[in-house]
Amino acid sequence: MNEKTKGFVARRFKAYYTAAKIHPPREFWQREWGFVLFDQHYADRMVMRRHIALATETDFQNYLREYAPAHVYYSTAIYDDPTADMAKKGWLGADLIFDLDADHMVSEAELSRYSYEELLALVKAETRKLLDFLIHDFGFADTAIKLAFSGSRGYHIHITTESVRGLGSRERREIVDYVTATGLDIKSFLVSDTTEQEHTDEQPRKADKKLIPEGWGRRVHDGLLDFLHELAAMKDEQALQQIRAVGGLERKKAQTILRIAKDETVMHRIENGQIPQFAKPIWTALTETATKFVRVRSADHVDEPVTADIKRLIRLPGSLHGKSSLRANPLTIKTFEDFDPLTDAVVFTSKPLEICPLRDSAITLRGERYTIAKDEIESLPEFAAIYFLCRGAAELA
């Protein structure tokens, strides 16, 4: 980013912060703040100004308006003295934070196969799964959960209730392990199925099992049903490819699973939570496939470093992301479903702006597709032009 471009983007960020009404987090005066400015180092090197405290809401608003940062962060932890060195801050507790990013969902090798829009859809689906875990398995109330778009390729979930403040890194890591099914032993959610013997003198058949209707037992059961119903609606070859893609199974086992999916009698038994005796040889394959289907997807332990880190900095909801120009929109569970980041997080005007592309690139914003080609000067709406400038794909013409 050359100086001309940097100066222009900084002025537009300043205009945003001057007009925007951004709310600080709870106990903001006890949190450490970090800022990346449009300084002489940007964007070749990200230099963060850290160990800053903002004592009043006026200080908070004035800092944003005066410096118009490229990136704004605050600590998930609260401290006695947020301006001190880390060892001397005096940790008092921390919010429970989850950072779901497309980079965590898809391996480096797979990343290039997805469009930006597809990555956003993927991470939204995984965020939806995590919300379900937090509400139904951990018992958090809807009102205790706050969300924010990251401003790039993901979502942040904030839980700020007193009940989580004292959790250490180990307890937070266990939560991540639970939602990602790390170390999960599904056998512990199986019990002997005595449904057919309840009103007879028959002895339970040891091979017949049933998933308990709570926790991961319920999740595997529901995920298994969804997966099998999805397979039953597909053509055979497509279904086999899907089974092998999700479960990594050999073709013979995949064919057995497909036969189960298309057998109405067997499916009825599975709907009642039963695991038919003849399915025992592929039980592991079935449950592992279902687990992959319903767990929160992760290429390398989701957001464990963020969730387990009790002194982490997180992006401020309502601030702008310097590498995209998109707003990190604050959300609730209710507004999350209808939120479209490529429309709702766009803040700049539609006035025409000329840019000189440095490489080929494309983006869909506010329902329109914008494509640029290297070295061909383009006149675009300001919001699209600034996106390409922040991405490093163009300079101001």
Task: Specify the amino acid at residue 383.
Answer: F
> Residue by residue, what is the 3-state secondary structure of 104-115?
HHCCHHHHCCCC
Angle between helical axes of 215-232 and 236-247 (0-180°, round to 10) = 150
Q: Please report the beta strands in 268-312, taking only residues with DSSP state E, as ranges in sequence order.
A: 274-275
Q: How many residues does the chain have?
A: 397
Distance from first CA to last CA of the chain, Å, rounded? Answer: 12
Cα dist from 87 to 50, 83, 311, 352, whole Å? 14, 11, 11, 50
Task: Specify the amino acid at residue 6.
Answer: K
**What sign does the CA torsion over 294, 160, 301, 47 have?**
positive
Query: How far, rounded to the nearest angstrom, does the alpha carbon of residue 331 sit from its chain's CA centroid?
Result: 13
**Contact status, residue 185 vs residue 199, Cβ threshold 8 Å:** no
Q: Please report the beta strands in 130-259, taking only residues with DSSP state E, as ranges in sequence order.
A: 145-149, 154-159, 190-192, 209-211
Q: Is 101 a catalytic residue?
A: yes
Catalytic position from the list 95, 193, 303, 309: 303
Tokens of 261: 């999916």
Spell out the residues 6+ positions from residue 272 whose beta carbon is closer than 8 angstroms to its own.
195
Tokens of 96: 């429970």
Q: Per DSSP, what are the bridge partners of residue 158? A: 97, 146
Tokens of 393: 């794909």
Catalytic position from the list 95, 99, 193, 208: 99
Q: Per DSSP, what are the bridge partners of residue 97? A: 158
Backbone angles phi, psi at 40, to 5 degrees: -65, -20
Cα dist from 257 to 122, 241, 273, whole Å? 26, 12, 16
Q: Is 266 exposed, middle or buried (0-12, 13-18, 19+ CB in 10 A)?
A: middle
Catalytic position from the list 101, 193, 208, 309: 101
SS3 393: coil
Residues recognised as catalytic? 99, 101, 303
